[in-house]
Each structure stands twice: as C-alpha cells, then as structure tokens.
Amino acid sequence: MVVPQIKVILMDLTKYERARIIGARALQLYFGAPPLVATAEGESDYIKLAETELEEGIIPLVVVRENSPE
C-alpha cells in the first residue's frame, strides 16, 4: 500500500477551495464557534471574519487533494 505524501501549501488555493473554506468557517462562526481573530464588540459579519482568519493563516480547516497535478 502506497501512502501519499502530504504537502502543506499555504495560500495556494483555487477560487473554489477558497470559497468553500470561507463558507464553511462562516457557518461555524454563525453557529457559535469562537473567532480566532480579534473582533470589535458586536461584530457579526461572519464572512468577513472567516476571510480575515484565512488571510492570517489561522483558519482551522485543511484541504486535502487526492489527485493534485505536480
């Protein structure tokens, strides 16, 4: 059995992966997950918070590509 190597590539996401990650994290924030970035009191723009987390590289989601072209 061949174990695939995991490559960690920061910020090398397609526009579809980026949209999916931001949407998934915004949904988590909407349902009460604590934001991982400093926020102003009462800020409720979940998409903007998720984008900020992604840009800072602290978003707790991982993209796994099964057959990525080399």
Task: Give domain status of residue 52, yes or no.
Answer: yes
Task: Give domain status of residue 67, yes or no.
Answer: no
Q: How many domains does the chain contain in total?
A: 1
38: domain CATH number?
3.90.940.10
Task: Give domain status of residue 40, yes or no.
Answer: yes
In sequence order, the 6+-apart residues with CB closer than 8 A to the CB of 53 are: 25, 35, 36, 37, 59
Q: What single DSSP character describes residue 70?
A: -
pLDDT tens string 1-59? 555 554 444 558 889 989 999 999 999 999 999 988 888 777 778 999 999 988 888 88
Q: What is the pTM of this model?
A: 0.73
Range of the domain at 29: 15-56
Residue appearing with tokens 């400093």: 38
